[in-house]
Amino acid sequence: METGTWRDPITFVTPKVGQYLTISNTAEAARVLLDHWPVEHGKALKRAKAACLAVLHGDENPETAREAFLKAAEEAGVLVRPDDSN
């Protein structure tokens, strides 16, 4: 299964104080959204999960999932920092 590699990774602050995680592909994003997201509901969260699934099935571009992840983070109040090193 293709992981849906992102052109630009995203670093976000986890619920644990001082802990950061960098996500570089759709498979990692899906895992975070399903297992480690601070909220369980939300329109953007639902769209992000659907976008990740579509990418992993080969029906969407990985950047679609990246953008959806960013919107879900905004909705949930999760602090993210796009990686500007590329």
Give residue-wise pLDDT tens across range 45-66.
999 999 999 999 999 999 999 9
Count CB-CB contacts under 10 A for residue 79: 11
- Cα angle 17, 66, 82; round to 5: 50
Q: Which long-range contacts (CB under 8 A, 24 or more apart) does 60-64 make?
A: 62/4, 62/5, 62/6, 62/7, 62/25, 62/26, 63/6, 63/7
Q: Residue 75 sits in which domain range?
A: 5-82
Tell me how many domains the chain contains: 1
Q: What pTM did the predictor assign?
A: 0.89
pLDDT by 10s per residue, the chain, length 86: 568 999 999 998 877 777 888 999 999 999 999 998 989 999 999 999 999 999 999 999 999 999 999 999 999 999 887 555 54
